[in-house]
């Protein structure tokens, strides 16, 4: 059974506290938007899809408790709360796209003459709830497409060795995962020999979370520290790098966890294909290039300490950007639920799918 990072039933939301993993398994109650903002900002829940889903579900929980019978007030409050949730972490675009779609839905329901306040609330909440199943379906499709494209190019011994970075599995999504979903699909098809996961400094999502998921799923895996990537590619035949994304710009430039960019450079040098696995909700067609992506900078403490233990010399200055941007020219393909696309084809292909995405 895969790990359950989000426990939801109507009116009740709990998230697995990822700051305590892998040593403790404890769920945190999210009783509304204020709690939703806090668990996202503190990174008790993280990963672009999970941030969007938990943020929106926190609004669903709050809305159910709201006894308002005035649709206009409800609409206005929904917009304010969604914008507040978006501010919890700036780089991942999924929550912003979800918020925009939900604000459109609230506008439509508010304007509908035959829609009662109770129906407004019910339809709005159901819509948010659908995100959970849709995300898992999308991830499974990403897994299938990724598995196919990697197997198609396979040469040599016919076995697949994947390198991944950060955490993109069940913990970062509603389930199954994106880049880790591709790895999972390869494992299910019995073609995966091994997966290597980076530690992912400074916050160790690889060592704490991906390693935990891989052990839990009994997928053959080895942990490396971030500085071992070049040596790994030189000495072991890596079939492909597969990473996730927090925001993909229209030209294919991709923001993902800090360290992704240098892995892409090393992959290019060693002629290892480099794939980004991400749902359409991670693609921001409003940004022409990665230069326009806002990169979140996080507290120094994430670098100077591991848990309560200080590891850096007191007094040293720190720079802690949480993400970097990999230029499209280093990316072999973007694996989405609709297929695998060359980065320079996104502008042509994606709008037709995104226009069809509807919250209704």
Distance CA 255, CA 293 (A): 7
User: What is the closest distance, in whole angstroms, from the C-beta atom of residue 141 to ligand MRU in the complex?
Assistant: 14
Taking the complex as a whole, how short is the minimal distance between the CB of residue 135 and ligand MRU, in angstroms? 10
Among 46, 75, 81, 201, binds ligand MRU (CB under 6 A): 46
Residue 53 CB, shortest distance to ligand MRU, in Å, is 11
Q: Which of 17, 135, 246, 284 is catalytic?
A: 246
* CB neighbour class for 151 (10 Å; exposed up to 12, middle 13-18, buried from 19): middle
Q: How many whole angstroms separate alpha carbon 166 and alpha carbon 158? A: 26
Cα–Cα–Cα angle for 160, 253, 266, nearest 5°?
45
Q: Which is nearer to ligand MRU, 124 or 196 (CB)?
A: 196
Contact track, ligand MRU, 65-94, x by CB under 6 A: ---------------------------x--
The answer to whether residue 256 forms part of the interface with ligand MRU (CB under 6 A) is yes
- Residues 123-142, interacting with ligand MRU (CB under 6 A): none
Q: Is 266 a residue that touches ligand MRU (CB under 6 A)? A: no
Query: Which is nearest to 200 in space by CA: 88, 302, 89?
Result: 302
Among 5, 168, 183, 198, binds ligand MRU (CB under 6 A): 168
> Binding of ligand MRU at residue 171 (CB under 6 A)?
no
DSSP code per residue over 147-205: HHHHHHT--TTS-EEEEE-S--SGGGSSSS-SHHHHHHHHHHTT-EEEEEEE--TTTTH
Considering only the stretches 164-172, 267-275, 326-334, 341-349, report the one whose residues sit in contact with ligand MRU under the rule CB under 6 A.
164-172
Question: Residue 231: which residues within 8 A CB-CB, separation 6 or more?
Answer: none
Site string for ligand MRU, 277-316 (x = CB under 6 A): ----------------------------------------
* Residue 178 lies near ligand MRU (rule: CB under 6 A): yes
- Is 359 a binding residue for ligand MRU by CB under 6 A? The answer is no
**Which residue, 275, 285, 274, is CA-closest to 251?**
285
| 100 counts as catalytic | no
Residues 207-246 that bind ligand MRU (CB under 6 A): 244-246
Residue 326 in contact with ligand MRU, rule: CB under 6 A: no
Nearer to ligand MRU, 251 or 281 (CB): 281
Strand 274-277 relative to strand 309-310: parallel, antiparallel, unpaired?
unpaired
The CA dihedral of 254, 282, 322, 286, to the nearest 10 degrees, is 70
Are 156 and 189 a contacting pair, CB within 8 Å?
A: no
Nearer of residues 47 and 175 to ligand MRU, judged by Cβ: 47
For residue 35, what are its two tokens? Answer: 């709690």
Among 54, 166, 233, 335, binds ligand MRU (CB under 6 A): 166
Under the binding rule (CB under 6 A), the answer on residue 322 touching ligand MRU is yes
Centre a 10 Å sphere on the Cβ of residue 85 and count the other Cβ atoms it contains.
26
Query: Beta strands of the chain (E only): which ranges?
Result: 6-9, 12-16, 27-29, 160-164, 192-198, 221-224, 240-243, 247-249, 254-257, 274-277, 283-284, 305-306, 309-310, 323-326, 333-336, 339-341
Find the binder of ligand MRU among 247, 257, 259, 340 (CB under 6 A).
257
Question: In this chain, which residue has its C-beta nearest to ligand MRU?
Answer: 244
Which of these, 157, 107, 99, 151, lies nearest to 128 by C-alpha position?
99
Of 205, 239, 281, 326, which one interacts with ligand MRU (CB under 6 A)?
Answer: 205
Catalogue the active-site residues: 246
Residue ranges that bind ligand MRU, judged by CB under 6 A: 46-49, 92, 166, 168, 172-173, 178, 205, 244-246, 256-257, 322
């Amino acid at each position: 059974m895969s790990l359950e990072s989000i426990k939801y039933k109507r009116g009740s939301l709990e998230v697995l506290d990822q700051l305590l993993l892998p040593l403790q398994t404890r769920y945190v109650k999210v009783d509304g938007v204020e709690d939703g903002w806090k668990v996202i900002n503190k990174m008790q829940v993280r990963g672009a899809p999970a941030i969007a889903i938990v943020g929106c579900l926190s609004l669903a929980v709050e809305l159910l408790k709201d006894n308002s019978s005035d649709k206009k007030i409800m609409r206005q409050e929904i917009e304010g709360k969604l914008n507040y949730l978006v501010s919890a972490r700036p780089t991942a675009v999924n929550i912003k796209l979800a918020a925009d779609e939900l604000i459109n839905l609230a506008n439509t329901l508010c304007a509908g003459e035959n829609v009662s306040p109770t129906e407004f609330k019910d339809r709005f909440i159901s819509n948010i709830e659908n995100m959970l199943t849709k995300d898992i379906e999308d991830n499974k499709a990403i897994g299938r497409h990724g598995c196919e494209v990697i197997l198609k190019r396979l040469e040599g011994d016919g076995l697949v060795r994947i390198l991944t970075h950060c955490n993109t599995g069940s913990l970062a999504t509603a389930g199954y995962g994106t880049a880790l979903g591709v790895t999972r699909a390869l494992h299910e098809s019995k073609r995966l020999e091994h997966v290597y996961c980076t530690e992912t400094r400074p916050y160790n999502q690889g060592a704490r979370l991906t390693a935990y998921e891989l052990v839990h799923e009994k997928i053959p895996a080895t942990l490396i520290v971030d500085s071992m990537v070049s040596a790994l590619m030189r000495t072991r035949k890596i079939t492909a790098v597969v990473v996730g994304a927090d925001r993909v710009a229209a030209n294919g430039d991709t923001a993902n966890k800090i360290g992704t960019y240098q892995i892409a450079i090393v992959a290019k040098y060693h002629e290892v294909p480099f794939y980004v696995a991400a749902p359409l909700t991670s693609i921001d067609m409003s940004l022409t290039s990665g230069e326009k992506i806002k990169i979140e900078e996080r507290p120094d403490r994430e670098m100077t300490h591991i848990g309560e233990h200080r590891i850096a010399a007191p007094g040293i200055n720190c720079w802690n950007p949480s993400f970097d941007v990999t230029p499209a020219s280093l990316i072999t393909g973007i694996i989405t639920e609709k297929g695998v696309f060359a980065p320079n084809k996104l502008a042509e292909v994606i709008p037709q799918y995104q226009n069809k995405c509807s919250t209704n």
